[in-house]
């Protein structure tokens, strides 16, 4: 969406709009290498979808910085992503 809100997961805060999201991703991939694999999808109220993902983050030398399962909650309006948030599965109602 033109006014999408996206988390700066490794830096804190949020970016807004496609240009800021693009700049954040460009910056992020110059510092780390991430692999995110969806595991399950859960429809929630108000157009939200919670995706349980297995996420592995490495530094550019290949050293694993994080390896675990987290939730990615997407708010979708008119077929477009309006917002995304990263949430621990224990607080999302999923996982242990």
Asked whether 43 and 23 are in contact (CB, 8 A), the reply is no
- Digit-coded pLDDT (tens) for 19-78: 999 999 999 999 999 999 999 999 998 889 999 999 999 999 999 999 999 999 999 999
State the CATH class of domain 5-92.
Answer: alpha beta
Domains in the chain: boundaries: 5-92
Residue 94 pLDDT grade (very low, low, confident, very high; cuts 50, 70, 90): low
Q: List, edge to edge, every strand of the sheet that includes 48-59.
A: 14-16, 5-7, 80-87, 64-77, 48-59, 32-43
């Amino acid at each position: 969406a033109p006014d999408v809100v996206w988390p700066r997961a490794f830096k804190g805060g949020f970016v807004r709009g496609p240009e800021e999201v693009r700049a954040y991703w460009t910056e992020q991939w110059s510092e780390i290498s991430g692999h995110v694999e969806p595991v399950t999808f859960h429809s929630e109220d108000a157009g939200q979808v919670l995706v349980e993902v297995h996420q592995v983050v490495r530094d550019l030398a290949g050293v694993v910085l994080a390896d675990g399962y987290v939730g990615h909650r997407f708010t979708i309006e008119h077929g477009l992503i309006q917002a995304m948030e990263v949430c621990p599965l224990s607080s999302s109602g999923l996982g242990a």
